[in-house]
Each structure stands twice: as C-alpha cells, then as structure tokens.
Amino acid sequence: MNVTAEPAAITSDDIAGNVSLILGELAHTASGIDFGQVSGLADRIMAADRVFLAGAGRSGLVLRMAAMRLMHLGKTVHVAGDTTTPAITAGDLLVVASGSGTTAGVVKGAQTALSAGAEVAAITTNSRSPLAGIASAVVVIPAAQKTDHGSDVSGQYSGSLFEQSLFLVTETVFHTLWGTTNEPAEQLWLRHANLE
C-alpha cells in the first residue's frame, strides 16, 4: 500500500518570504535598467501618430495593460492580432516585448512594421538579439530569460522577473507621460471602457 505524505501547510512566513524575494529581485533589476533608454521609449510613444503593441504569452498580456493606459492618455492604440487592428504605416510606432528577443512571431511583426515604414521599439533582456538589432529604440531589462532555469539572477519561475519588470517599465512610461499633461485622473477616467 502506497502512503502519500500530506504536503506541509503553507504558513504566513512562506508567503512573506516569497513577497520579499519578488520585491527584492524586482528592485535589484530595476536599478540596472538604463533610464535613458526608458526616456527614449517614452519620447517615441509621445511622438507617434498611433502606437501598436505586440508580444507573446505573458509579455503580450503586460503590453495589453500598457495599451489600456496609453488609451487613457488619449493615444490611438492598437494591440497586434486583435480583429480590429488596422495596418501599421509610416508615422506609427510598434512597441514589442520579448525576453529572449527571438520570439518568432514578435520578430516577424517587427520586420513587417519596418517594411511598412513604421518605427520599432523593443523591450528585451538580450541587447544582441534579432529583435534588438532591428529596433530603433531598445530598453534592456537585466533579468533572466524564461529558459534560464538555473540562473542566479532570479529564483522565480520562467520569465516572471522579466514580465514584472516589463510591467514596471510600461507603468513608469505611462506615469511619466501623464505628468506631461494637465489632465486630472477624472479626465482620463472618461476614456475608460464603459461597455464592461
């Protein structure tokens, strides 16, 4: 007869330890980001006629959140792959994110945007990646890639630190751009979806 041991109960100390781990890693990673690169991204977003965002998996989900915030600022924003997303053209900006910088669909989308005359901004861990190589603006996040399971950069699972840092970067860009306007939060809220 097989007897399976009961799993240990999760304690508040377990939770507190993991919160501390995540916050510590995020703070350390953020301190290694070149804020000049982030400033360049913000400038390009502000100058673009329209902003398109593209990423796969969890990075794509973070960029969807960024798209909402840019819409709140009054930017014309589209998420690549949505059925109502129009063709990208000259004057537009494509913001892409890929930890590895090699995600095939994201790289292909960036190449298509360039061919259409649009500008590409990339957020990645890998400054030597194909994605970084074709972007005119790059933000490098010094986090482990999702396949780097033995990394001493992060004790978190599969790309979590990159995705958390990506959220921090995009929220920082939003907050910075908002600071250049005179719009109160109530004005931004008028643009929030009302068909929820």
Token code pair at residue 19: 């919160």
Token code pair at residue 43: 């400038």
Active-site entry in 6, 25, 119, 163: 163
The answer to whether 137 and 122 have CB atoms below 8 angstroms apart is yes
The DSSP result for 51-114, as a single string, is EEEEE-HHHHHHHHHHHHHHHHTT--EEETT-TT-----TT-EEEEE-SSS--HHHHHHHHHHH
How long a stretch of residues is the chain?
Answer: 196
Token code pair at residue 131: 């994605």
119 catalytic per annotation: no
Residues 6+ apart with CB under 8 A from 85: 52, 78, 79
Q: How far apart are CA 141 and CA 125, in angstroms?
A: 5
* Residue numbers annotated as active site: 163
